[in-house]
Amino acid sequence: MSQLVFVKNAAQLITMKGHSDKPAKKDDMSQLNVIENGSLLAKDGKILAAAKHEAIVQDYQELIAEAEHIDATNKIVTPGLIDPHTHLVHAGTRESEYAMRLKGKSYMEIMNAGGGIHATTKATKQASFDQLYEESKQRLDTFLEYGVTTVEAKSGYGLSLEHELKQLEVAKKLNEDHPVDIVSTFMGAHAVPVDERDTPDTFVDRVVNEMIPEVARKGLATFNDVFCERGVFTPEQSRRILNAGKAHGLIPKIHADEIEPYGGAELATEVGAISADHLLKASDEGIKQMAERGVIGVLLPGTAFFLMAEFAQARKMIDNGVPVALSTDANPGSSPTLSLQFIMNLGCLKMGMTPEEVLTATTINAAHAIGCPDSVGSLEAGKKADIAIFNVPNYLMLSYKYGMNHIDTVVKGGNPVVL
């Protein structure tokens, strides 16, 4: 028997229709395609129809009679949110570094003293597969509770073949076991291990010659990412790593211009990255190039907020034609949040984005940033029935009442999730 779910009478059914072919940019980021008093019918995990309530009732009477009904009266319905940049799989927390930063130490100072990414790498190396799985699963549960149905997850706290593979295997198993879908990124070039600091190019050699080929051979990642930042990996090293990934079928992503302007946005364009992420200090030239080549800017305002830094220039990027997506950057050092709803709020209040733009940036543009716009990111016939139902009467409320979880119900692959 087929499984039928009928989400009915939404005050606003936000479909995001019409952006699946290419990421939305400029004014298109405001085209949400909202249906008032909208309903949606899903069958066997896929969307059958999303339209005005009366129209669906007329066309699908018999199926509706058999379906499980979810009443969305006075609520809004959106595509399940998508988080396109997380460091989901890691062990432990770094609240003591937070306390140090509050007293004036910088993120980079802490990292250079062997803390930061190195501290989490140590904890992650020591953790067993099961421990990592358990910690990461709890984070995924929270993502889901906050309306996120797909996340990208990076490795990068192993910094050796064995432990990078462990992280990616955890992500793979969670993807199989957990309702939230995971798209994996290899990020062996997240930092140069402390004991190899004097010979960074030897480490880069290992990333290129040992890690990337094995990760690709095992099919454990879709993307390849690098932390291109002064004192971490230079643009030259980053170029080498991203091109090596490409040669093995891994699509480039890049942590670009986070702390200093460093040519990261320009490098993203040069290597044909699907996205450049962070961009707090991206140059005007980098922004221009990204717009010309359609490189998605994945902006992470939670990181700027938590590092007490200047925010990325979202307004400038959007006005100049860069397709923008938003993400939590969930990680224990620079953004320990799992709330994409709060990120939407920051997008509006701290980066000059509109409520319409932040919705686009956390649904269809986020789907584009992780290569799955054909299956998720909008409520259109044939796509996965990944649906977020928020207990607010209009979408403005989502980013207006801030710091709260507005989720009422999440439907994942056609299954109402028990939260």
- Residue 266 binding Fe ion, by CB under 5 A: no
Q: Which segments are annotated as binding site for Zn(2+)?
A: 85, 87, 255, 329
Stretch that binds ligand NIG, among 3-11, 43-51, 138-146, 330-338 (CB under 6 A): 330-338
The footprint of ligand NIG on residues 331-350 (CB under 6 A) is 331-334
Question: Binding marks (x or -) toward ligand NIG, 124..163, rule CB under 6 A?
Answer: ----------------------------------------
For residue 276, the Cα-to-chain-centroid distance in whole angstroms is: 12
Token pair of 416, please? 């109402």
CB nearer to ligand NIG: pick between 115 and 323: 115
For ligand NIG, the binding residue among 117, 153, 241, 250 (CB under 6 A) is 117
Radius of gyration for the chain, computed over Cα atoms and rounded to the nearest angstrom: 21
The footprint of Fe ion on residues 319-358 (CB under 5 A) is 329
The footprint of ligand NIG on residues 238-297 (CB under 6 A) is 255, 258
Number of Cβ atoms within 10 Å of the Cβ of 414 = 21
The CB-of-369 to Fe ion minimum distance in angstroms stands at 13
CB-CB contact of 238 with 231 (8 Å): no
The CB-of-329 to Fe ion minimum distance in angstroms stands at 5
Q: Which segments are annotated as binding site for N-formimidoyl-L-glutamate?
A: 157, 331, 333
Total residues at the site for ligand NIG (CB under 6 A)? 13
Q: Which segments are annotated as binding site for Fe(3+)?
A: 85, 87, 255, 329
Total residues at the site for Fe ion (CB under 5 A)? 1
For ligand NIG, the binding residue among 120, 150, 155, 345 (CB under 6 A) is 120
**Nearest position to ligand NIG, beta carbon:** 333
Residue partners of 324: CB distance under 8 A and separation at least 6: 25, 29, 296, 297, 298, 299, 314, 317, 318, 353, 357, 361, 365
Say which entry of ligand NIG, Fe ion, none residue 120 contacts (CB below 5 to 8 A, set by partner kind): ligand NIG
**Nearest position to Fe ion, beta carbon:** 329
- Residue 225 binding Fe ion, by CB under 5 A: no
The CB-of-277 to ligand NIG minimum distance in angstroms stands at 7
d(CA 121, CA 164): 10
Say which entry of Fe ion, ligand NIG, none residue 117 contacts (CB below 5 to 8 A, set by partner kind): ligand NIG
CB-CB contact of 80 with 147 (8 Å): yes
d(CA 338, CA 410): 16
- Residue 258 binding Fe ion, by CB under 5 A: no
d(CA 164, CA 34): 42
d(CA 46, CA 118): 42
- Residue 227 binding ligand NIG, by CB under 6 A: yes
Residue partners of 413: CB distance under 8 A and separation at least 6: 45, 179, 384, 385, 386
d(CA 391, CA 336): 25
d(CA 22, CA 109): 40
Binding stretches for ligand NIG (CB under 6 A): 87, 116-117, 120, 227, 255, 258, 303, 329, 331-334
Positions that interact with Fe ion (CB under 5 A): 329
